[in-house]
Amino acid sequence: MTIDEVKTIEISLLDYIVSVCHEHRLNYYLAYGTLLGAVRHKGFIPWDDDIDIYMLRDDYQKLVSLLGDNAHDRYRLLSVYNDENYYYEYAKVVDANTMLKVDNLKENKKEGVWVDIFPLDAIGKLVGLQKFFINISVACRILSVYQKFPSEKRSIVFYPIWALAKAIGPRFFLKVTEKLATRGKDKERVGYMASMGVDKYYFPREWCEKTCLVDFEGKQYRAFERYDDYLRDQYGDYMTLPPEDQRVTHPIKAYWKQ
The per-residue pLDDT for range 246-257, each reduced to its tens digit, is 888 877 899 999
Q: Give CA–CA dist 83/69, Å, rounded.
A: 11
pTM over 0.85: yes
| CB-based burial, 111-126: b 16+ in 10 Å, e otherwise | bbbbbbbbbbbbbeeb
The mean pLDDT value for 209-237 works out to 96
What rounded mean pLDDT belongs to the chain?
Answer: 89
Using the predicted structure, report yes or no on whether residue 236 has a pLDDT greater than 70: yes
Asked whether 102 and 37 are in contact (CB, 8 A), the reply is: no
Q: Per 3-state DSSP, what percentage of the chain is helix, strand, and coil (rounded to 5)?
A: 40, 20, 40
Question: What percent of the chain lies above the pLDDT cut of 90?
Answer: 60
pLDDT 10s digits, 105-145: 878 889 999 999 999 998 766 556 777 787 888 889 988 98
Class of domain 3-121+207-256: alpha beta
pLDDT at 186: 83
